[in-house]
Structure 1
């Protein structure tokens, strides 16, 4: 998880004075990174930190909590140690009410869970953060396409459309890991003649520091490269598609279809 690594971003060299009336902290965590920002009473961002991934997976919830906890504490420090009025945490992987309840129980003992304004931390799936970043409309849909794929739909009458977003078992395909995995499969088939030729055979190995496709396949098989890292192949897929590679174009079009289908279903 790399909870101890990260960056802090500030407007100037000196740490700013703590906002007198306190700060609100918002955390957005996914499968690649975790961003935390501190905002003053006017809504201005006064501090920002970025750490490693904090998406939620069965059996790894503790790792996620550690990253989120560090993100909250570090961004508060970067904001001058201001009173912490309220915290909002929006994480990929909180797709079911049972997952939200279990995660809430883990962060409940943390000192920032109840803010100085006596309001408990708000905990939700990261789709809600994207939705309200893009629009305040009462009827709206947002699709998150990062390491995974998910969507949220809300209506003025309070109705909400959500997805389990648990991967293939819940009918999902199209996130970065899916795209990278499929790119590797298609490149392998091109290499041995079972599939059409594609520049992906030579374009994707360098993305993971391997000299050729055979070495990449071998290292994934023997666990020297975690399958989660296949999402790092996505830029090569889009670059190949932009150059007109038929295999890469078809793969990107398939992903686009999944995004449109999910948005339409959530509407």
Structure 2
């Protein structure tokens, strides 16, 4: 995004990076800078967020998603990485997800009676629905993850297993699992947060936008010499663009 990045070649770099993720990673997280800016302003009271702050939000999402692998939970031991990958990437053709992160204490102050993961998800959607990528489209998998633990003994019940996603999430792919998993680390943390992470058709829209920005530069070969002079070929450009464009269409067909 030009609103955040000062690099004129960011559209190229984004598509090149995504092609690498699609080729080599078992699961990838994709974020949109403008969305992160809205998230920072409304959920974290940071209206003019710096790039460092936006990076910290991404780190919080990654921290929340990987907490069940790295730490024992309040109600059980750490789980294996394969389980995490199967949760968010239930189909080999769809291994991308996007997420948002919110301060858990803010939600608890509004609804201190919350006791279950389903209640936390409902409260999150009630307050931040337009900031959650599960508000529209076809949802393949949805994870609700907790990072750290709030200083409330009765929150330990939030770590219990799987709960069905509410029907108003408009999940249409009935043969693909939908779940809510809120994992709270057994050790207290002063930085408790809850992340909503979704693998859905929304990913296709994000990839389409990425490709459109790429095309606006590539059709004029703008700044392409920076890469061609370093050894890349026009065929390399076309190949990565096709790969990311194909994945965008696959998500769009959900």
TM bin, normalised by shorter chain, reads under 0.3
Structure with greater Cα Rg: 1
Higher strand share: 1
| Structure with greater contact order relative to length (CA < 8 Å, sep ≥ 6) | 2
Higher helix share: 2
Normalised by the length of structure 2, the TM-score is 0.27
TM-score (norm 1): 0.26
